[in-house]
């Protein structure tokens, strides 16, 4: 079996790792970049961003598969402080999003504090010094505050299928696309029918000899109202910023109108269901295939997908939708539970990401040496306002537990959280706090109220299993209210919800030998 992986883990040339920074940011996607920009704007220049990849972009740097594009309108899927007048379409493709992130990073004046191809191997809370000991592939340092912006869609998840490692053909995850492998004329299998698969399949179906698409659960797919922007619109975006702001505002409030259907009154989603059923009828002629692609659960329970090309691609003569479960992979192909064996040359894994276990949690040790992964295993993946966790002082998340969306732009949520984080750093400076930590009872009350709201949502009561839910059936990924409510809750740092330790009560830790210059050691 062969597979692709991220580029070499050797650190790229970059700023020298300091012995200590005020704020360490992990990840250079939308969240990490926004944090860096907002820190600089607030006057905090003593920060470092470490990124395991070789460029900014995060998800949009890594997901380069054919057809990759955003399912949130372009005008809303961008920073409010950095509008992009250069979008070509109403739904932007991956290359345009990546170029946008790169351009914002270059214009921000913060890249001199980014260290690429640097893995965070361990973060350990030093209870005596009230700071984080940081171990990276490029060296060690300490930080007063750590902001994890590693993202929720950063670590691909391979399927748990017997014989997966025995396949002798080409295999790769959609987020690790092998552009060096030519699919032309090949027999190809795609495992999964989620957001990535419905973009990949229509792109590769015309060039492969045969395409087997393995579906576990049919998704609801509504039409994608995508179009090129006209020359007049592009000119207006460039010369009249108010026009672009008007577009953004209209899209935002249009998207917020979906919230009641997800969170309180699922019956309001009836028009969306009719659009999805009409989409099936338009795209597929065969009645049996129509039956296979029609979901048997309430619309909205799983992520609603958008595509005009998914169903016509499945209806092609060289494409087969396989709904029998996969029993095993063999050296030459896939065997389903009904005993049918299908030989293939390549397997494309489109099975999503680790979303309910946050892989970075394995590398974070809080008070008492407890790893965040063990903490989540005991208490469930939870955080106060999706941003801070009791037992892990001075640790902030951007895109943390229960901050995901099923209807709108994550960039809006990211900006809300970065504002909260920056205000927390400012508050710590003003009141002389060495550390802040959400009080256990405050976090518990917040999470209990959130989960109570969650029980009324279509995600918990829609009759489906989804990647939104953890092993206990709790929705630990999505925000169950309007996005403007989230922004209001995080508008300012609420210090009264935290235990603050004054700086003058913390002893200064003497430097370790490895932190001293050679002459200091000899002295």
Looking at the fold, whether 501 and 361 belong to one and the same domain comes out as yes
The model's confidence at residue 467, banded by pLDDT at 50, 70 and 90, is confident
- Is residue 521 one of the residues assigned to a domain? no
Confidence band, pLDDT 50/70/90 cuts, at residue 78: very high
Asked whether residue 4 is assigned to any structural domain, the reply reads: no
Q: Terminal CA-to-CA distance of the chain, rounded, Å?
A: 56
* Cα(60)–Cα(175) distance, integer angstroms: 9
Length of the chain (residues): 523
Whole-number pLDDT of residue 123: 98
Q: For the residues 419-432, what does the mean pLDDT come to? A: 97
Residue 322 lies in a domain: yes
Q: Are 377 and 398 members of one domain?
A: yes
Q: Is the pLDDT of residue 319 over 70?
A: yes
Whole-number pLDDT of residue 505: 81
Query: Would you call 4 exposed, middle or buried from its count of C-beta atoms within 10 A (0-12, 13-18, 19+)?
Result: middle
Q: Residue 506's pLDDT is what?
A: 79
Q: Does residue 85 share a domain with residue 198?
A: no
Give the tokens for residue 134: 């940081």
**pLDDT value of position 471:** 78
Instruction: Please indicate, yes or no, whether residues 307 and 419 belong to a single structural domain of this protein.
Output: no
Q: What is the mean pLDDT of residues 489-501?
A: 97
Two tokens, residue 74: 């372009």
Quickly count: other Cβ atoms within 10 Å of residue 504's Cβ: 7
> Given the DSSP bridges, would you call strands 47-50 and 20-26 parallel, antiparallel or unpaired?
parallel
Q: Are residues 418 and 276 in the same domain?
A: no
pLDDT at position 16: 78
Are the C-beta atoms of residues 237 and 85 closer than 8 Å to each other?
Answer: yes
Q: 327 and 192: one domain?
A: yes
Q: What is the CATH number of the domain that holds 202?
A: 3.50.50.60
With b meaning 16 or more CB within 10 Å and e meaning fewer, what string describes 316-325? eeebebbeee
Q: Is the domain of 363 the same as that of 215?
A: no
**Three-state DSSP class for residue 212:** strand
Residue 128 CB partners (closer than 8 Å, separation 6+): 506, 507, 509
Q: Are residues 32 and 125 in the same domain?
A: yes
282 Cβ contact list (under 8 Å, min separation 6)? 311
At 13, is the pLDDT very low, low, confident or very high (cuts 50, 70, 90)? low
Question: Is residue 397 in a domain?
Answer: yes
Q: Which two tokens stand for residue 245?
A: 């702001």
CA distances from residue 376 to 52, 356, 359, 405, 482 in whole angstroms, order as listed: 24, 10, 11, 21, 26
In the block, residue with structure tokens 């209001």:
488
Taking CA atoms, 211 is separated from 67, 200, 288, 320, in Å, by 16, 11, 18, 6
The CA–CA distances, whole Å, from 298 to 17, 222, 240, 271, 302 equal 51, 14, 42, 13, 8
Q: What is the pLDDT of residue 508?
A: 58
> Of 349, 382, 404, which residue is a domain's last?
349
Instruction: Give 142's pLDDT tier (boundaries 50, 70, 90).
Output: very high
Assign residue 51 a region (left: φ > 0; alpha: ψ between -120 and 50; beta: otherwise): beta
Paired tokens of 292: 């296979």
Domain membership of residue 11 (yes or no) is: no
Domain boundary among 290, 317, 349: 349
Q: Percent of the chain at pLDDT above 90? A: 84
For the stretch 355-384, pLDDT in tens is 667 789 999 999 999 999 999 998 889 999
The answer to whether residues 70 and 120 belong to one domain is yes
The count of structural domains within the chain is 2
The answer to the question of residue 58 being in a domain is: yes
Structure tokens at 336: 């389903």
**Which residue, of 330, 349, 368, is where some domain finishes?**
349
- C-alpha–C-alpha distance, residues 325 and 50, integer Å: 41
Angle at 366 between CA 133 and CA 45, to 5 degrees: 45
> Residue 503 domain-assigned?
yes
Per-residue model confidence (pLDDT) at position 246: 96
* Angle, alpha carbons 473-479-485 (nearest 5°): 150
Predicted TM-score of the model (pTM): 0.92
> For residue 511, what pLDDT band results from cuts at 50, 70 and 90?
low
Q: Which domain holds residue 175?
A: 164-219+258-349
pLDDT, tens digit (0-9, with 9 covering 90-100), for 103-114: 999 999 999 999
Q: At residue 48, what are phi and psi to the nearest 5 degrees?
A: -140, 135
Q: Are residues 373 and 279 in the same domain?
A: no
Residues 365 and 467 in one domain: yes
Same domain for 84 and 59: yes
How far apart are the C-alpha atoms of 364 and 391, rounded to whole Å? 11
241-260, pLDDT tens digit by residue?
A: 999 999 999 999 999 999 99
How confident is the model at residue 519, as a pLDDT? 45
Q: Bridge partners of 263?
A: none
Q: Within 13 Å and on the Cβ side, how many CA atoms surround 1?
A: 15
Convert the pLDDT of each residue in 269-301 to its tens digit.
Answer: 999 999 999 999 999 999 999 999 999 999 999
By three-state DSSP, how is residue 509 classified? coil
- Are 186 and 345 a contacting pair, CB within 8 Å? yes
Q: Is residue 326 part of a domain?
A: yes
Is the pLDDT at 153 greater than 80? The verdict is no
Residue 396 scores a pLDDT above 90: yes
């Amino acid at each position: 079996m062969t597979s692709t992986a991220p580029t070499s883990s050797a650190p790229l040339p970059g700023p020298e790792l300091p012995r200590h920074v005020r704020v360490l940011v992990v990840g250079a996607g939308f969240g990490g970049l926004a944090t860096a920009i907002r820190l600089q704007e607030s006057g905090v220049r003593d920060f470092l961003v470490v990124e395991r990849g070789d460029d900014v972009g995060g998800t949009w740097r890594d997901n380069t598969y054919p057809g990759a594009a955003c399912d949130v309108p372009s005008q809303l899927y961008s920073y409010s402080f950095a509008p992009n007048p250069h979008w070509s379409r109403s739904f932007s493709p991956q290359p345009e999003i990546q170029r946008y992130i790169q351009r914002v990073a270059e214009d921000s004046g913060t890249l001199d504090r980014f260290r690429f191809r640097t893995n965070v191997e361990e973060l350990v809370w030093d209870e005596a010094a009230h700071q984080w000991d940081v171990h990276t592939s490029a060296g060690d340092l300490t930080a007063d505050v750590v902001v994890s912006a590693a993202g929720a869609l950063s670590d691909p998840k391979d399927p748990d299928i017997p014989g997966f490692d025995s396949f002798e053909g080409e295999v790769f995850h959609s987020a690790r696309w092998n552009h060096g492998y030519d699919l032309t004329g090949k027999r190809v299998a795609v495992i999964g029918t989620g957001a990535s698969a419905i973009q990949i399949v229509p792109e590769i179906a015309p060039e492969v000899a045969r395409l087997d698409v393995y579906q576990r659960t049919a998704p609801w797919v509504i039409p994608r109202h995508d179009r090129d922007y006209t020359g007049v619109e592009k000119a207006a975006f460039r010369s009249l910023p108010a026009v672009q702001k008007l577009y953004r505002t209209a899209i935002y409030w249009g998207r917020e109108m979906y919230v009641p259907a997800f969170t309180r009154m699922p019956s309001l989603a009836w028009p969306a269901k009719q659009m999805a059923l009409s989409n099936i009828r338009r795209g597929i002629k065969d009645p049996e295939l129509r039956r296979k692609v029609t979901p048997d659960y309430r619309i909205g329970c799983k992520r609603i997908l958008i595509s005009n090309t998914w169903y016509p691609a499945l209806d092609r003569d060289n494409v087969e939708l396989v709904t029998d479960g996969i029993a095993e992979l063999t050296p030459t192909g896939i065997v389903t539970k009904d005993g049918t064996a299908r030989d293939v040359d390549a397997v494309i894994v489109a099975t999503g990401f680790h979303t309910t276990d946050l892989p970075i949690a394995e590398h974070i040790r809080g008070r008492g040496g407890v790893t965040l992964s063990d903490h989540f295993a005991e208490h469930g993946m939870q955080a106060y306002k999706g941003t801070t966790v009791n037992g892990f002082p001075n640790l902030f998340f951007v895109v943390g537990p229960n901050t995901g969306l099923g209807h709108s732009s994550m960039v809006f949520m990211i900006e809300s959280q970065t504002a909260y984080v920056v205000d927390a750093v400012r508050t710590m400076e003003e009141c002389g706090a060495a550390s802040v930590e959400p009080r256990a009872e405050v976090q518990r009350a917040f999470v209990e109220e959130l989960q109570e709201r969650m029980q009324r949502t279509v995600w918990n009561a829609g009759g489906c299993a989804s990647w939104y839910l953890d092993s206990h059936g709790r929705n630990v990924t999505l925000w169950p209210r309007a996005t403007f409510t989230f922004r209001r809750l995080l508008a300012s740092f609420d210090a009264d919800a935290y235990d603050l330790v004054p700086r003058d009560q913390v002893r200064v830790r003497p430097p370790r030998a490895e932190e001293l210059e050679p002459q200091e050691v000899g002295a």
